[in-house]
Structure 1
Amino acid sequence: MADSTSSSSDSSSSNSSSSLRELSHSALQLVHWDEPKKSAAAFGLSLLVLVSVATLSVISVVSYLLLTCLCITITFRVYKSVIHAVQKSEEGHPFRSLLDRDISLSSETVHQLADQSLVHLNWFSSQARRLLLVEDLVDSLKLAGVMWLMTYIGSIFNGVTILILADIIFFTTPLIYKKKKTQIDHHIEVIRCKVDETLQKMHDRLPGAVKRAKSE
């Protein structure tokens, strides 16, 4: 009895893990444009939603999206009902396959997502403490430079505009990288070498006490 219980638990855990892997794989396929039609639809819809949020309130955007979805589904449902009545067929509900599909989240999936979120949260907390309390002076200075740059970005763009730009970059960068991979890798390597050289010079100019504390 215990063996069957443990085997069913392992099966549920493996199923939840496989579903998470499938979800990640589907997201990567969208980003890398493995299926151009689906990627174009996802890119267009996400961009439309973000632009709508930038011009309208979130409540209005959600209401319009649900209203549009209901108009499509109700129209299709009525159309199919009329066709069935005229042809006297018994095909049933047009969305029956979708209604019968199980979309509930298992407890194992929720626990796995919570565990993964906890890992990322702990990592973020430790990094924030390390940077804010200046465990490594160079890393804290890099964070200060990034935050100083973000103040200028924030004065030019609002949060939704940044999300729109991020969405565009998210979907267009893989395409550009595929076409210009060699040139981009070369420029990235040059920039990385220059950054490492600059950071090394900064580290060499640090006081000896700070360098000793870093090595410890």
Structure 2
Amino acid sequence: MADSTSSSSSSFSSNNCSSSTLRDLTHSALQLIHWREPRKSASAFGLSLLILISVATLSVISVVSYLLLACLCVTITFRVYKSVIQAVQKSDEGHPFKFLLDRDISVSTEAVRQLADQGLVHLNWFSAQTRRLLLVEDLVDSLKLAAVMWVMTYVGAVFNGVTILILADIIFFTTPLIYQKKKAKIDHHIELFRLRLEETLQKLQDRLPGAVKRNKAE
């Protein structure tokens, strides 16, 4: 009885630890996007943009190889430099990356299980929404999806996947700053756009056949 209680308490604490880790990661990502720490945000934005531009111009294998080669050049040079300094000063500081080598970076099974559970929830929601839209459970929503897909055909003709990722990266890091500076104007225009969209959809819905309206109301 005591063993089962202790095991349940340990699993509960590990679940709390994994959930807190996920919350910390989400909080850190939001901090980067909202530029709470400008140096870290600028570094993350510059590095991500550099990687995406490199992938757009070079192959993925070349980009990964160059990144690892650059990292190895820095770490090997620093290791040799510290070894020479220690030999000259006759100090015994040890490995310069010891604090990083001793850090535990293993992923717990509880964290993986929690991520899998969350992914399954989103996958089930996506499957249900896809079936609902493709089988026209709601005609208006299916028409919305058709309009979005029609626009995306033009987007795909102009941009490739990597270019869209580059634009998304720029939008993610610049939109919060612009929104903070012009919050009132942006909210006003968003509200006007929402009202006009709802008005257009209402007019479209009013023009639907009566049978479709009755089915939607039911």
For residue 188 of structure 2, what is the aligned residue in structure 1? 186
Query: In structure 1, how many angstroms separate the alpha carbons of the residues matched to 2:25 and 2:88?
Result: 41
Query: In structure 1, how many angstroms separate the alpha carbons of the residues matched to 2:61 and 2:146?
Result: 36
Aligned residues: 216
Query: In structure 2, how many angstroms separate the alpha carbons of the residues matched to 1:91 and 1:194?
Result: 68
Query: In structure 2, how many angstroms separate the alpha carbons of the residues matched to 1:184 and 1:214?
Result: 34
TM-score, normalised relative to structure 1: 0.99
Of the candidates 6, 9, 26, which is equivalent to residue 4 of structure 1? 6
How far did residue 6 of structure 1 move? Answer: 1.1
For residue 207 of structure 2, what is the aligned residue in structure 1? 205
For residue 64 of structure 2, what is the aligned residue in structure 1? 62
Query: In structure 2, how many angstroms separate the alpha carbons of the residues matched to 1:215 and 1:38?
Result: 51
**2:4 paired with 1:14:** no
How far did residue 4 of structure 1 move? Answer: 1.3
Unaligned runs of 5+ in 1: none
Deviations 1:88-114 (A, max 9, x none): 111111111111111111010000000
Of the candidates 67, 78, 81, which is equivalent to residue 80 of structure 2? 78
How far did residue 7 of structure 1 move? Answer: 1.1
Name segments (4+ residues, structure 1) moved above 6 Å.
none
Query: In structure 1, how many angstroms separate the alpha carbons of the residues matched to 2:124 and 2:217?
Result: 24
SS of match in other structure, 1:93: coil
Of the candidates 35, 45, 48, which is equivalent to residue 47 of structure 2? 45
Query: In structure 1, how many angstroms separate the alpha carbons of the residues matched to 2:210 and 2:104?
Result: 63
How far did residue 215 of structure 1 move? Answer: 1.4
Query: In structure 1, how many angstroms separate the alpha carbons of the residues matched to 2:154 and 2:185?
Result: 29
Of the candidates 104, 115, 118, which is equivalent to residue 117 of structure 2? 115
**2:125 paired with 1:129:** no
For residue 175 of structure 2, what is the aligned residue in structure 1? 173
**2:138 paired with 1:156:** no
Identity within the alignment, %: 78
- Structure 1 letter corresponding to 2:44: A
- Structure 2 letter corresponding to 1:79: Y
Query: In structure 2, how many angstroms separate the alpha carbons of the residues matched to 1:91 and 1:99?
Result: 15
Query: In structure 1, how many angstroms separate the alpha carbons of the residues matched to 2:194 and 2:89?
Result: 68
